[in-house]
């Protein structure tokens, strides 16, 4: 893919802290105007990746370009041209919502003449019209999140980094927040978002799954769902914990995880239904219901992480420090 259409282009990006590789030879591209989701468990290396792309610190190895700028040589240019919003985004509690946006407009160098109009535009974009004169400390979590977004994009950046921007916000507000992100992407803004919420991953054009510093999957949500080599059964039974350990011992079971009262069991083929029943009854576990089901992104994510974890356990010498 050429640099003209890629907002982000990363090749073998690596960050070591001492001998520990927090990000390990990661490569991906984000075409302009697309939304890229970076998923991964705690400590996978998502924030470290974002920090390198924002020019906060340089990589130990590999290279990357953001909006055509080199992440090492042009770090200052990158900082001016991106929006960055994290869970710990700093808003000034004693200022009103409008004053916060005005403050960030000044910091990001929005020309004085355009500021009033641009701030008003951001208030409209975030739907903050009825809250613009409220003190930020009195706003709910969801409104603070929208205000933080308004502050992060007040200088009209073509690239937006969201690092767990919706953590701790209720599902309806998260959906509404993502509507705003979609609207931004529709105007040509490129978005890189990290999240732990699998429903949010569905909003992305492409997904990268990180685990222990590595990018272990890189595809669209639909491609990822198609990539599951196996069949998922949802099983409700009398003793899920015992059922889980029994199923984990069987070679044709690829993965088992608990989702509320349900076990998600990924097996190699549909005809294993009877074998599951037999195994359960041999252990004295009653099956309340069992049905073949379509794997969600969460199932895929767990399966990918589990597969990589097993590979690393089987080949300890190949594991990085």
Ligand X SMILES: Nc1ncnc2c1ncn2[C@@H]1O[C@H](COP(=O)(O)OP(=O)(O)OP(=O)(O)O)[C@@H](O)[C@H]1O
**CB-CB contact of 13 with 49 (8 Å):** yes
Q: Does residue 64 belong to the site contacting ligand X (CB under 6 A)?
A: no
C-alpha span between 149 and 160 (Å, rounded): 10
CA atoms 210, 212, 213, 217: torsion sign: negative
Q: How far is the CB of 28 from Mg ion (least distance, A)?
A: 17
Nearer to ligand X (CB atom), residue 48 or residue 254: 48
Q: Does residue 47 belong to the site contacting Mg ion (CB under 5 A)?
A: yes
Residue 261 CB neighbours (<10 A): 11
Pick what 22 binds: Mg ion, ligand X, none; C-beta below 5 to 8 Å, kind-dependent: ligand X
Nearer to ligand X (CB atom), residue 43 or residue 168: 43
Question: Nearest 5°: CA angle at 19, between 15 and 22?
Answer: 35
Q: Does residue 168 belong to the site contacting ligand X (CB under 6 A)?
A: no
When binding is defined by CB under 6 A, the residue of 36, 37, 46, 181 that contacts ligand X is 46
Pick what 57 binds: Mg ion, ligand X, none; C-beta below 5 to 8 Å, kind-dependent: none
When binding is defined by CB under 6 A, the residue of 6, 9, 48, 86 that contacts ligand X is 48
Nearer to Mg ion (CB atom), residue 163 or residue 255: 163
**CB-CB contact of 166 with 200 (8 Å):** yes
Q: Does residue 195 belong to the site contacting Mg ion (CB under 5 A)?
A: no
**CB-CB contact of 268 with 252 (8 Å):** yes
Q: x/- contact string, 8-37, with ligand X (CB under 6 A)?
A: ---------x----x---------------
Nearer to ligand X (CB atom), residue 56 or residue 125: 56
Angle between helices 97-107 and 141-152 (to 10 degrees): 20
Nearer to Mg ion (CB atom), residue 47 or residue 190: 47
Pick what 145 binds: ligand X, Mg ion, none; C-beta below 5 to 8 Å, kind-dependent: none
When binding is defined by CB under 6 A, the residue of 7, 13, 26, 40 that contacts ligand X is 40
When binding is defined by CB under 6 A, the residue of 2, 4, 19, 42 that contacts ligand X is 42
Q: Which residues bind Mg ion (CB under 5 A)?
A: 46-47
Q: Which residues bind ligand X (CB under 6 A)?
A: 17, 22, 40, 42-48
């Amino acid at each position: 893919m050429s640099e003209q259409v890629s907002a982000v282009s990363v090749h073998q990006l690596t960050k070591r802290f001492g001998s520990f590789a927090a990000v390990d030879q990661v490569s991906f591209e984000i075409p302009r105007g697309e939304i890229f989701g970076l998923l991964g468990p705690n400590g996978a290396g998502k924030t470290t990746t974002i920090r390198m792309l924002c020019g906060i610190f340089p990589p130990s190895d590999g290279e990357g370009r953001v909006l055509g700028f080199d992440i090492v040589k042009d770090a200052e240019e990158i900082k001016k041209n991106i929006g960055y919003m994290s869970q710990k985004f700093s808003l000034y509690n004693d200022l009103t919502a409008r004053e916060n946006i005005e403050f960030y407009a000044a910091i990001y160098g929005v020309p004085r003449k355009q500021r009033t109009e641009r701030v008003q535009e951001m208030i409209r974009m975030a739907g903050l019209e009825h809250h613009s004169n409220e003190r930020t400390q009195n706003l709910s979590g969801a409104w603070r999140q929208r205000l933080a977004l308004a502050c992060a994009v007040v200088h009209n950046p073509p690239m937006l980094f969201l690092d767990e921007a919706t953590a701790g916000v209720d599902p309806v507000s998260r959906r509404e927040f993502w509507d705003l992100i979609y609207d931004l992407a529709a105007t040509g803004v490129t978005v890189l978002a990290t999240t732990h919420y699998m429903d949010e991953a569905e909003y992305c054009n492409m997904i990268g799954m990180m685990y222990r510093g590595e990018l272990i999957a890189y595809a669209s949500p639909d491609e990822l769902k198609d990539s599951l080599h196996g069949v998922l059964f949802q099983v409700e039974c009398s003793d899920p914990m015992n059922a889980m350990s029994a199923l984990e011992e069987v070679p044709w079971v690829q993965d088992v995880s608990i989702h509320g009262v349900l076990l998600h069991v990924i097996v190699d083929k549909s005809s294993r239904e009877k074998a599951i029943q037999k195994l359960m009854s041999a252990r004295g576990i009653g099956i309340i219901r069992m049905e073949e089901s379509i794997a969600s992104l969460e199932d895929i994510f767990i399966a990918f992480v589990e597969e990589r974890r097993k590979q690393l356990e089987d080949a300890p010498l190949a594991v990085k420090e």
